[in-house]
A and B are shown apart, each in its own frame.
Chain A
Amino acid sequence: MKILAIETSCEHATAALLAGGETLERPLEGHANHSEYLLPMLVSLLAEAQFRLQDLDAIAFGAGPGAFTGLRLACSVAQGLAMGAELRVVPVCSLAALAVQAKAERVFVASDARMGEAYAAAYRFASPGVPIEVSAPVCVPPEALVLPDGQAWVAIGSALGHHDGRFPPALRAQASGWMPNSVARACDVARIAAQELAAGRSVAPECAAPIYVRDKVALTTEERRIRGGRA
C-alpha cells in the first residue's frame, strides 16, 4: 500500500510517504508558513521513492483538531492532489496520530487549542499503532478534563506543557506517563490511514473535511446585543 500523508495541524509540520510497510518522513521548514514548503516537499518525497502521484493508493492528512489554517492547508492540498490524480482521501484525527507516539495501552491526548483551552481525547491500543477511540475529541479548559476509568493512562500532547498547573490534580495523579513535548507526525497519519484504507474507509476528495471540534468562532448580532455590545 502506498500513501502520501500531510500533517500541518500545529507549528511543527511533517510530510511522509508510506510504501511497502516503510515510511519516509520529512519535517517541513517554516514555522507559520508551511504552505510555502509543502508541495515542494511532497514532490521531492515522491521523487526520492521514484513514485508518481498516480501510483499511490490514497492521500492522507491530519484532519485535526488543531490550528484552523493548518488543517485547511492540509485538507485543500489533499483535495487538489487527490482530485487531480483520481485518488481517494483518508482524513485522520490528529489526536489519534499523536496517541500512537505514547506506545502505551491507554493514552490520553491533550493538545493546545489556544484561548486557554485544550483539544483532548482518549484511546486504547489492543495492538501497537492501532488506536481505538475511548472518548471523542473535545475542546475544553484543562480544569474540566477527566481521565476515563481504568489505570495507567499515559498523557501526551502540547497542552500538558502549555497549561501545566491547570490540570486537575486527580488527572495528574492518575497519569502513569507525561509527554508534553510531542506533536502529531505524518508517518503516524500515514500508518493509521493504511489501516483505514484496508478497512474500506476513505472518502472522495470533495468529502474530505477538517475536524475543527471548536465550532463556535464568532458571536451573532443577537448574541452581541444580549451581551450588551454593539449590534
Chain B
Amino acid sequence: MRVLGIETSCDETGVALYDTCGGLLAHRVHSQIDLHAAYGGVVPELASRDHIRCLPVLVRQTLEEAGCGLEAVDAVAYTVGPGLAGALLVGAGFAEALGTARGVPVLPIHHLEGHLLSPLLSGDPPAFPFVALLVSGGHTQLMRVGGVGDYALLGETLDDAAGEAFDKTAKLLGLGYPGGPQLARLAADGRPGRFALPRPMLRSPDLDFSFSGLKTAVVNVVSAPAWDPDDVADLAADFQEAVVEVLCAKSLRALAETALSQLVVAGGVGANRRLRARLDEAAAEKGWRVYYPEPELCTDNGAMIAFAGALRLSAGESVGRGGGAIRVRPRWALAELVPPRTG
C-alpha cells in the first residue's frame, strides 16, 4: 500500500510517498526560511501563498522520484492540525480534492503524531510503549506512547516552547532569523559556566517546563553594565546548557515514572547535538535508550505524515474517500487523539 503524505502546517512544504512494503520511496521538502527571514518570523499569509505555489510541484517531483504515477497512490494523508489555519487549509483542500478525484482514502493526520512516530521510520526503530519528548519551535511536550493513537500527556511547557526560547534568545543576541540553530552553533564555540542562568522548574515535582524566564535572564545579563559582547559565545553555551539540562532531567524522570526504558526525541530541537549527547549519556547510565528520527526528518516533512497515515490505514482505520468537508484544526491537543477506529 502506497500513501502520499502532505505537510503544510507552518513554514515547510513537505510531500512524500511511503510504501508499507518498500518503505519511504521519495520525499521532498521546500523550506520557506529565506522567504520569512526579512520579516524576523513566519508571516502566515506569505506562508500560505508559498504552500499553494509549491505543493502541486512537489507532488509531481515526489512521484517522479518514486518512479510512479498517481495510479500507484492508494491513499492520501495530510496534516490537518495543529498549525497555521491558512497554511493547513492549502494542504487540506488539495489533499481532499486529490483523494476525491482518485477515489482513494483520505486521512487527516495530527502534525505531532507524525513527529512522534517518525523515529519508527529509521532502520533501528523503538517498539511501543515508549516516552516521547516532542521538542520544536512550537511544542515542548512529554508523552507516554502506548501505540498508534494512544498518547497520554505527561508534561508540557507552560509558556515558550524550547525552540521558541532558542529563537527569541538568538534574536536578543542579534543572531538573525531563525536564530535557534545559529545560537546552537555559537554555543559550540563557547565555554559554559560563566553565567549563572536559572534552570526553570528543574526541581518542580511535575514533568512541566517553562522557558520564558530563561530568556529574561539573558536580557538581564546583556543589559548589565558589566556585559562584554565578546562573551556572547559563552552566554550562548550557558543558555543551551540550561535548556538541555531541564529537558534531560524531565525526560529521564518521565522514563522513571512510567517505568519505561525507551525515549523517542522528535521535533526540530531534537537535532541539537548537545541535547543528544547529554540524553544519550544520561540514559546509558540507567541502561535506557534514546531514539531519534533520521536527521532529515527532524524538521517538518511529508514522510512522517505519509507514515502515520499508513500505520492508521494498516490498522484498519475507516476513512472517507474524499468528497467530504474540508476542515482544519489549528489548535488540537495530541492527547485527544484516539487509536485507529475500525469498521
The residue in A35, A36, A212 that gathers the most chain B C-beta atoms within 10 A of its C-beta is A35
B102 interfacial by beta-carbon distance below 8 Å: yes
Question: How many residues on the B side are at the interface (Cβ–Cβ under 8 A)?
Answer: 37
Say whether B97 contacts A35, CB under 8 Å.
no
Beta-carbon contact of A221 and B97 below 8 Å: no
Contacts of A128 in B (CB 8 A): none
Asked whether B53 lies within 8 Å of A39 as measured between CB atoms, the reply is no
Write out the residue numbers on chain B whose beta carbons fall within 8 Å of the beta carbon of A68.
Answer: 45, 48, 86
How distant is the Cα of A37 from the Cα of B323 in the complex, in angstroms? Answer: 9
Stretch at the interface among A13-21, A102-110, A166-174, A203-211: A203-211
Alpha-carbon distance A75/B59, docked complex (angstroms):
16
The residue on B at minimum CB distance from A74 is: B93
How far is A42 from B70 in the complex, measured between Cα atoms in Å?
21
Contact with A along B303-314 (1 / 0, CB 8 A): 000000000000
Chain B residues within 8 Å of A217, by CB: 43, 45-46
Give the residues in chain B near A40, CB-CB below 8 Å: 323-325
The answer to whether A76 touches B52 (Cβ under 8 A) is yes
A42 contact set on B, CB distance < 8 A: 100
Q: Quick one: which of B56, B86, B324 has the most chain A CB within 10 A?
A: B56
Q: A76-B52, A84-B101, A84-B102 are in contact. Are A38 and B326 (CB under 8 A)?
A: yes
Contact mask B94-115 → A, CB, 8 Å, 1/0? Answer: 1111111110000000000000
The 5 A-B residue pairs whose C-beta atoms are closest, nearest first, are A84-B101, A80-B97, A76-B93, A206-B56, A80-B98
| Cβ proximity bits B76-89 to A, threshold 8 Å, 1 near / 0 not | 00000000001001
Taking A80-B99, A80-B101 as given, write out 16 further A-B residue pairs in contact, using a Cβ cutoff of 8 Å, ordered by the A residue number: A35-B92, A35-B325, A39-B322, A72-B52, A75-B52, A76-B89, A77-B96, A77-B97, A80-B98, A81-B101, A83-B59, A206-B59, A217-B46, A218-B43, A218-B45, A221-B39
Enumerate 15 A-B pairs (CB-CB under 8 Å) in ascending A order: A36-B326, A39-B96, A43-B323, A53-B101, A69-B89, A76-B94, A78-B97, A81-B100, A81-B101, A83-B101, A84-B70, A206-B60, A217-B46, A218-B46, A219-B39
Tell me the nearest residue of chain B to A231, going by C-beta: B40
* Contacting residues, chain A, for B53 (C-beta < 8 A): 209
**B contact residues vs A (CB 8 Å cutoff):** 38-40, 43, 45-46, 48-49, 52-53, 55-57, 59-60, 70, 86, 89-102, 322-327
State which size class the interface on A falls in. 35 or more
A68 to B70, CA, bound (A): 29
Instruction: List A residues 36-72 near B (Cβ within 8 Å).
Output: 36-40, 42-43, 53, 68-69, 72
Most chain A Cβ neighbours within 10 Å, of B39, B40, B326? B326
Q: Kindly state the separation between the CA atoms of A36 and B326 in the bound complex, as whole angstroms.
A: 5
